[in-house]
Chain A
């Protein structure tokens, strides 16, 4: 009797009962993967190493200074470290949530399991919440595991605890929002990469460029910012660091707004998920069977529809341009001949020849907006906020690197998933050609963003010099140095992408791994600078700056090239 009631009681709280079988399944699958445990351990170890270094740098300074100086220095370092960790977690957990959920519904549609689920009594609510919560739980687990580490930071003293708490709150709500958004978009997008890129570009515009331009144009920055804090997690994080009492209310409002926005997205997802399952069935049937169906359909109206259903394309953009391009002659008859290297041609096919238009439009818009922004800045030169500008440029950098990672890792592992790699490997194309062509194609697709990034970076140097922060003569050597450093990073991310694309069977895993390395690189970078500062203390700041960039450029270049070489060697190893 008693055992029974306990069982009933336990069953009541059984997550499988509340969130449905999807939740249960996802958790089971993820707990079976060794990879997940590895990832978590790596993450914690990395954070621990980071804190250890911080600690060592405090002790190291202690030998030649007074106790008071040491304490204040320690608390300063502790504060910086906390800010760095909270920000890192904030960015990393959002990226993870977006990436993990970007294929959540489209995968189920692609494999046909969504249709099967729809025929069972599982409700749309349970499908959506099950997917969302199971993935978010993994992200939250990472966050939770880092809490003890944050507690250890107490040894530094002077830690702003309410900053940590607010930071975690903001992180939590933004993760939920990012995850919901990603899930929502994955209902409509067959390709997870599109979802990821779409979200990043959207974030870049709405959370980066928009407030940036608004503050530049308005006369009172603080008022505009206060409004943005409510709806912008990034600015909310900045506000949390300021520790003003007024901010804490704003932050709470911000969290509520983010949560309600997530709820709205989820309601939409629940509403749309069922029709998405069926829509896909129709799309798949459309081309194959429409012609057969005609025979059965007497109604001439419908006959007309079916007969031309292949050719119906939505008008977008300027209608005349649209018409010129697609309605002239027979668009559907248009065949694009293979030019030059076939793999480069194939990789860029969608990008340069009509498909993947969203991608292209987005790139062009970023381009135009940034150029517009630069012109605006030139006009508003003396009120230029360099911090905001760097913020925007960091966003661009993130998008650029993510796109590169996705392009390469996705295109190589994607061929395994689509089962086209074996066919490619029995052609006389050399392994080297295959990998390098894919790399080349990915670079071609991102060259415009890369160029833009270069331009903005150099623009920053010039505006630094115009504001007297650095001397003009410094620009002359800063530019080639930073160009080399960017190129080495591109090489590194390309190498990582190729390597994980070759080693992993699943393109999502390859992309996540590449992005993971990219994030780790952030931390390593920080560590590296710390080590360097310690080694080079006798020299002047300018020296160790240049020296550290120089060494890092060399390290990234070497690592990138080595990974590329490895991926060429291993291309045939893991294809089945």
Chain B
């Protein structure tokens, strides 16, 4: 649905996007992740026809964004990173304005606007002025606006940034709902864990280059995330440590406050073996759990490696 081929954008002597090749399937949610200044916003601006690439192409639904700008605009919904609102308009008026801008007939507008208001749970704010909404609501209003012409593709630039946890969850639920409706969504963030739950695929970008691309499941072992386990035993901690340290698959055993932290060797991921070994040695196991997924740490590891 979305495809970029050797996409490059140069500002003066800075290459903001560097030979980027992306492919996003129809119906996918694609997480576009990278630290600030990585080139996410620039890529998205090119995709939504606001900027022209220096080299390469970008296609949306098979249409070249530079040549078929007008057609592309009808099938995409774009939410910029810093979104302005017309602050003297009311929520309903704001949405109807964009409905009119997308050429929707006047008779159909009311029901369409009511529809997106319901989807984003903003009906009660219908006649509030746009600037009186909280940040979370404004962001939802932004999503409502994006949906007004029922686009196939949504391109959302950091929709959750600056929101409190509750508003983040609301946005996340909304995105899931949109995925169910069959939309292709490209969403950017500088926080990997934020997208973990909703994305099918992620692409990690740094200094304009794609560092990694694939599913979240693939990313974990590659980053060596899943290889730490917390083991809690009832008593006999010293003995447990001794036994575990002797296992060939395990590289490190550490006693922390009230649990034992076990690190597996590269490429190994076998929680089962711990339980079996400990039970065989008559040690009562209270809990074995993978250590909190430190996706963000891993993300840091992954992106730090490449220094310009």
Give A residues with C-beta under 8 Å from B: 286-288, 310, 332-339, 342-343, 345-346, 349-350, 355, 415, 418-420, 422-430, 572, 575-576
Q: Are B132 and A342 in contact (CB under 8 A)?
A: no
Residue of A nearest to B78 (CB): A426
Chain A residues with Cβ under 8 A from B85's Cβ? 418, 420
Chain B residues with Cβ under 8 A from A334's Cβ? 127
Across chains A and B, the number of contacting residue pairs, with CB separation under 8 Å, is 93
Give the distance to chain B from A334, nearest Cβ to Cβ, in Å: 7
Q: Are B73 and A423 in contact (CB under 8 A)?
A: no
Q: Does B15 contact A (CB under 8 A)?
A: no
Q: Does B279 contact A (CB under 8 A)?
A: no
Q: Are B50 and A288 in contact (CB under 8 A)?
A: no
Chain A residues with Cβ under 8 A from B70's Cβ? 428, 430
Q: Are A345 and B50 in contact (CB under 8 A)?
A: no
Q: How far is B70's CA from A103's CA once the two chains are assembled, in angstroms?
A: 37
Q: Does B23 contact A (CB under 8 A)?
A: no
Kindly supply a per-residue 1/0 record for chain B positions 93-137, scoring 1 wherever the CB is within 8 Å of any chain A CB and 0 otherwise. 100111111110010010000000000000000111101111000
Give the distance to chain B from A563, nearest Cβ to Cβ, in Å: 24
Give the distance to chain A from B100, nearest Cβ to Cβ, in Å: 4
Closest 6 CB pairs of A and B: A287-B132, A419-B84, A342-B100, A420-B84, A418-B84, A427-B101
Kindly supply a per-residue 1/0 record for chain B positions 56-86, scoring 1 wherever the CB is within 8 Å of any chain A CB and 0 otherwise. 0000000000000010011010101011111
A346-B86, A349-B89 known; A335 vs B132 contact (CB < 8 Å): no
Q: Are A423 and B78 in contact (CB under 8 A)?
A: yes
Chain B residues with Cβ under 8 A from A419's Cβ? 80, 82-84
Give the distance to chain B from A238, nearest Cβ to Cβ, in Å: 42
Residue of A nearest to B127 (CB): A333
Q: How far is B127's CA from A334's CA once the two chains are assembled, in angstroms?
A: 7
A338-B109, A419-B83, A419-B84 known; A287 vs B129 contact (CB < 8 Å): yes
22 CB contacts below 8 A, A to B, read: A287-B129, A288-B133, A310-B132, A333-B127, A335-B126, A336-B93, A337-B96, A337-B106, A338-B109, A339-B106, A342-B100, A345-B100, A419-B83, A419-B84, A422-B45, A423-B80, A423-B83, A426-B76, A428-B70, A572-B50, A576-B50, A576-B51
Give the distance to chain A from B68, nearest Cβ to Cβ, in Å: 12
Residue of A nearest to B145 (CB): A423
Interface size class on chain B is 35 or more
Which chain B residues (21-51) contact chain A, with CB distance < 8 Å? Answer: 45, 48-51
Residue of A nearest to B151 (CB): A426
Q: How far is B157's CA from A423's CA once the two chains are assembled, in angstroms?
A: 12
Give the distance to chain B from A68, nearest Cβ to Cβ, in Å: 64
Q: Are A335 and B92 in contact (CB under 8 A)?
A: yes
Chain B residues with Cβ under 8 A from A422's Cβ? 45, 50, 78, 80
Residue of A nearest to B142 (CB): A423
Give the distance to chain A from B65, nearest Cβ to Cβ, in Å: 11
Chain A residues with Cβ under 8 A from B134's Cβ? 288
Known: A337-B96, A338-B97. 7 other contacts (CB 8 A): A287-B129, A335-B92, A335-B127, A419-B80, A423-B80, A424-B101, A428-B101
Chain A residues with Cβ under 8 A from B103's Cβ? 428
Q: How far is B86's CA from A310's CA once the two chains are assembled, in angstroms?
A: 19
Q: Are A423 and B92 in contact (CB under 8 A)?
A: no
Give the distance to chain B from A164, nearest Cβ to Cβ, in Å: 47
Q: Does B172 contact A (CB under 8 A)?
A: no
Q: How far is B98's CA from A310's CA once the two chains are assembled, in angstroms?
A: 26
Q: Does B266 contact A (CB under 8 A)?
A: no
Q: How far is B52's CA from A572's CA once the two chains are assembled, in angstroms?
A: 10
Q: How far is B281's CA from A124's CA once the two chains are assembled, in angstroms?
A: 76
The answer, among B74, B80, B87, B133, for a CB contact under 8 Å with A428, is: B74
Q: How far is B90's CA from A284's CA once the two chains are assembled, in angstroms?
A: 16
Q: Does B88 contact A (CB under 8 A)?
A: yes
Residue of A nearest to B79 (CB): A423
Q: How far is B90's CA from A346's CA once the two chains are assembled, in angstroms?
A: 11
Q: Are B106 and A287 in contact (CB under 8 A)?
A: no
Q: Are A288 and B132 in contact (CB under 8 A)?
A: yes
Give the distance to chain B from A398, nearest Cβ to Cβ, in Å: 27
Give the distance to chain B from A557, nearest Cβ to Cβ, in Å: 31
